[in-house]
Structure 1
Amino acid sequence: MSPKPHILVIEDEAPQREVLVYNLESQGFRVSEAATGDEGLLLLSEDKPDVLVLDWMLPNVSGIEICRQIKTKPETRDLPVIMLSARSEEVDRVRGLETGADDYVVKPYSVSELMARVKTQLRRARPTLAGQVLAFEDIELDAETHRVTRGGEQLKLGPTEFRLLSTLIEKPGRVWSRDQLLDRVWGRDIYVDTRTVDVHVGRLRKALTQFGGEDPVRTVRGAGYSLG
């Protein structure tokens, strides 16, 4: 199974935060929550989420400032941010989006609409978690049925090799370090030696070439692995 998509909620109003967390968890997401911007930034640095739901009006550091910080750092620039705000004026919406927010939702909002918007951002950021079929050259991965084919032939992959391929195929050409692959495939809470990554990459290569074809997994010396 793929790891659950991780959503971080930064919202200072406890009742609203509780409703959000409850609904996100009932949709099958793993949720972290923070009541202040500083607490949220700390959580984000420790465990980067797949989507951030961020309130504009926060004590001390505003949501706008947090969004600005996130979008200027290379390691978090691609994190989808959904801004929540009671400000419904067009000028405020434009300001929020210009700061880098990927979506802007005006309070009071419909919870079901917000859930749909979270899923939309997740599809853009991590397509395999949204159950799409991803392809690279003649390799196809169906996240929902856990089927992988190459050139029309169904491949036999173990669960770890499937998660590895899921990560690599999301962004072909991107180089993933062993530590990044450990976080994505095994999870942060599990201690696994980085050499274990090499072993499973070897198994993935074997599975991908079981019916012939070139090995699509590239080793980048001193950096990690990429697909293509």
Structure 2
Amino acid sequence: MHFTFVGLMLLNMNMFTTSTPLRGTDLAAKKIVIVDDYEESCKLLAEILSSTYECSYTSDSTSAFRLINEKRPDLILLDYKMPGVMGVDVCRMVRESDSTKNTPIIFVSGAATIDERIKAFETGADDFISKPFHVKELILRIKARLSEKEPEAASELNAANMKMNLLSRQVFVDGEEVNLTPKQFDILKLLVAGKNNLVTREKCLSEIWGDTEVTSRNVDSQINYLKRKIHKFNGRIVAVPSLGYRLEAQE
């Protein structure tokens, strides 16, 4: 069975990589741990995924949980039938540990019965893929699970006595609303998000003005307006000579 699986995977991999590049910028830093008692399967999965994800693997199921604890992956690919420690046992240990209990687990296994699949889900599996499978299906299922894990975007930013509601685009200092222009709001958002760190003029120009033909003087002008409008803010906007600005908050 393993030979058939590897052969089909190689064929699927060639079909997929000739049409769709795997590398992505949004998920490049995500980590995946692969656990399969057949080392060739581990190597093949790692080869398929390594252009997009940081992959680690083990073919020794008894060391799987130790590797998972060490790597703290964003997702685990887990075989069901393994000598020593079964996949469901590894899954159970992952779910019982506070540091890994929310890590998505996808079982990747061949010839699993319906009872085994049910047991995997009862133990805490998020998904189950049967071997052999198409590489594109695996990639899409991984991306779906990682997307579910992504935290929701913040709807509010805070710095000392200032609050920014990103949904209503309102700014409050000491509970009193401050009226800002759209450009001033966007500049302040960059400064608060990067609180106590440098925000360059170039960053402001590229993210706020885009391709519009303006100069750094436009940024400086808007910063001066901002300083006057948020004068009750418990902090300050500091100029970093020749580079940009930094918002310092007195928390």
Coarse TM-score class (shorter-chain normalised): 0.5 to 0.7
Matching residue of 2:123: 99
1:153 to 186, 190, 193: 186
Query: Does residue 1:121 correspond to 2:140, yes or no?
Result: no
Tell me the CA shift for residue 203 of structure 1.
Answer: 3.7
Sequence identity, in percent? 26
1:134 matched to 2:153: yes
Structure 2 CA distance, aligned partners of 1:103 and 1:122?
12
- In the alignment, residue 137 of structure 2 is paired with which amino acid? E
Q: In structure 2, what is the Cα distance between the partners aligned to 1:98 and 1:151? A: 52
- Note the aligned Cα RMSD (angstroms): 3.4
Give 3-state SS (helix, strand or coil) of 1:104's partner.
strand
Residue 111 of structure 1 pairs with residue 135 of structure 2: yes
How far apart in 2 are the matches of 1:157 and 1:34?
44
Contact (CA 8 Å) 1:9, 1:54: kept in 2 or not?
A: yes
Encode CA deviations 1:24-80: one digit per residue, 9 max, x unaligned: 112x11111111122221111112000000111122011110001111122111010
Q: Which runs of 5+ in 1 are unaligned?
A: 128-132, 141-148, 163-200, 216-228
For the 8 Å contact 1:20–1:111, the answer to whether it is kept is: no
CA contact (8 A) 1:84 1:107 kept: yes
1:7 to 11, 32, 39: 32
* Structure 1 residue 126: Cα displacement: 2.7
Matches within 5 A, 1:1-228: 4-26=29-51, 28-127=52-151, 134-137=153-156, 138-139=165-166, 153-154=186-187, 155-156=189-190, 202-203=196-197
> What's the TM-score once normalised by structure 1's chain length?
0.59
- Counterpart Cα distance in 1 of 2:66 and 2:183: 42
**2:74 aligned partner, one-letter code:** D
Q: Which amino acid aligns with 2:111?
A: R
Are the equivalent residues in 1 in contact too, given 2:61–2:82 (CA < 8 A)?
Answer: yes
What TM-score do the two structures reach when normalised by structure 2?
A: 0.54
Letter in 2 for 1:135: A
Higher radius of gyration, 1 or 2: 2
CA–CA separation in structure 2 for the residues paired with 1:90 and 1:76: 26
Offset of 1:120 from its aligned partner?
0.8
Which residue does 1:193 correspond to in 2? none
1:169-218 superposed Cα distances (whole Å, 9 cap, x missing partner): xxxxxxxxxxxxxxxxxxxxxxxxxxxxxxxx7449xxxx9886999xxx
In structure 2, the partner of 1:179 is none
> Which SS does the other structure have where 2:83 is aligned?
coil
User: How many residues were matched structurally?
Assistant: 157
Q: Tell me how far 1:150 sits from its aligned partner.
A: 10
Per the TM alignment, residue 20 of structure 1 is displaced from its structure 2 partner at its CA by 0.6
Q: 1:157 to 1:65 in 2, by over 3 A?
A: farther
Question: CA–CA distance in 2 between the matches of 1:150 and 1:7?
Answer: 40
Q: Distance in 1 between matches of 2:233 and 2:107?
A: 44
Aligned partners of 2:111 and 2:130: how far apart in 1? 7
| Equivalent position of 1:175 in the other structure | none
Instruction: Give me the whole-angstrom Cα distance separating, in 2, the residues matched to 1:150 and 1:81.
Output: 43
Structure 2 Cα separation of the partners of residues 102 and 111 of structure 1: 18
CA contact (8 A) 1:51 1:79 kept: yes
Structure 2 gaps of 5+ residues are 1-24, 157-164, 168-181, 199-225, 235-251
